[in-house]
Amino acid sequence: MATLIVHGGAGRWDRGISRAEVDSGLERAIAAGWRALGGGALAAVVAAVAALEDDPLFNAGTGAVRNSAGGVELDAGVMSATGLRVGAVAGMTDTTNPVRVARSVLEDGRHALLAGAGASHFAAETGLPLAGHERLEAMARPVSGAAGDTVGAVCRDPAGDLAVAVSTGGTPGKLPGRIGDSALCGAGFYADTPGAACATGQGEAFIRLAGCRRAIELLAAGMDAPTAARGLIEELRERVGGEGGIIVVDAAGRPGVAHSTPAMPWAWRTDRDAARWG
């Protein structure tokens, strides 16, 4: 069975944002991911997250929020359970699709995480388009303009592979140089034989808990995806006082979604059915 889940970021989505626009952004991401599913779970999650990066409604890629210096620094990560392959980038300032650079880091295989100018240099050498620093900053949202935090996707493909992709502009008004959980394997994303997990919310809390790795441990202990998602968000609050959300798919393809923030737009699709937030 195939399952694809996407989210548009934990936060507040009641401040003059059209629900219909959010839902069509999620639907475009699900459609892009589902179309790419023939290439496997990793291709599906990268396509879904790239679609969300291209939508200015979401805090990632094109719609990223500014940091305290008025600049934009983007983090993204991808992981495949098969071979525990991982790729991530941090602090990128000149691409609207950092998730594609993260995938190239994974495919290249020499490193797990590239940051800043080194990530840009790698992207250029790999032939990935760079948007230009000025263009990205011109498109960025003001610190007060973010409804949510981070976009992400998890997938179980028909062959049983599990994958995750995540991308973010980070927390609004963050200090320049701050790297969040979305660049850090185990904190903001993880995939292994029991399932795949993707986090959104207070990155520092997910880093302290190694939140997505912890969600996979809950699956390995016998929980299904909905129970593990709820358990992880409870642990986040109880152990490190954090707020956020998580999407989880388990090895059987069951979808799990949980959040402690007022809202977190999400949608999922399987071979049999589909659902979305609210």
Annotated catalytic residue, options 96, 150, 171, 227:
150
Please answer whether residues 153 and 165 qualify as being in contact, where contact means their C-beta atoms are separated by less than 8 angstroms.
Answer: yes
Please choose, out of 14-22, 106-114, 195-203, 252-260, the segment that lies near ligand GLY by the rule CB under 6 A. Answer: 195-203
Residue 95 known to be catalytic: no
* Residue closer to ligand GLY, measured from CB, 195 or 211: 211
Smallest gap from residue 10 Cβ to ligand GLY (A): 8
Please choose, out of 129-137, 156-164, 167-175, 270-278, the segment that lies near ligand GLY by the rule CB under 6 A. Answer: 167-175
The β-bridge partners of 237 are none
State the Cα–Cα distance between residues 134 and 136, nearest whole angstrom. Answer: 5
Site membership for ligand GLY, residue 181 (CB under 6 A): yes
Token pair of 89 as six digits: 């980038």
State the Cα–Cα distance between residues 85 and 71, nearest whole angstrom. Answer: 31
Smallest gap from residue 270 Cβ to ligand GLY (A): 26
Site membership for ligand GLY, residue 63 (CB under 6 A): no
Please answer whether residues 49 and 99 qualify as being in contact, where contact means their C-beta atoms are separated by less than 8 angstroms.
Answer: yes
Site membership for ligand GLY, residue 200 (CB under 6 A): yes
Site membership for ligand GLY, residue 168 (CB under 6 A): yes
Written as one string, the DSSP assignment of 121-173 is: HHHHHHT-----HHHHHHHPBPGGG-SEE-EEEEEE-TTS-EEEEEEE--STT
Catalytic residues: 150
Residues that bind ligand GLY (CB under 6 A): 149-150, 168, 170-171, 180-182, 188, 200-201, 203
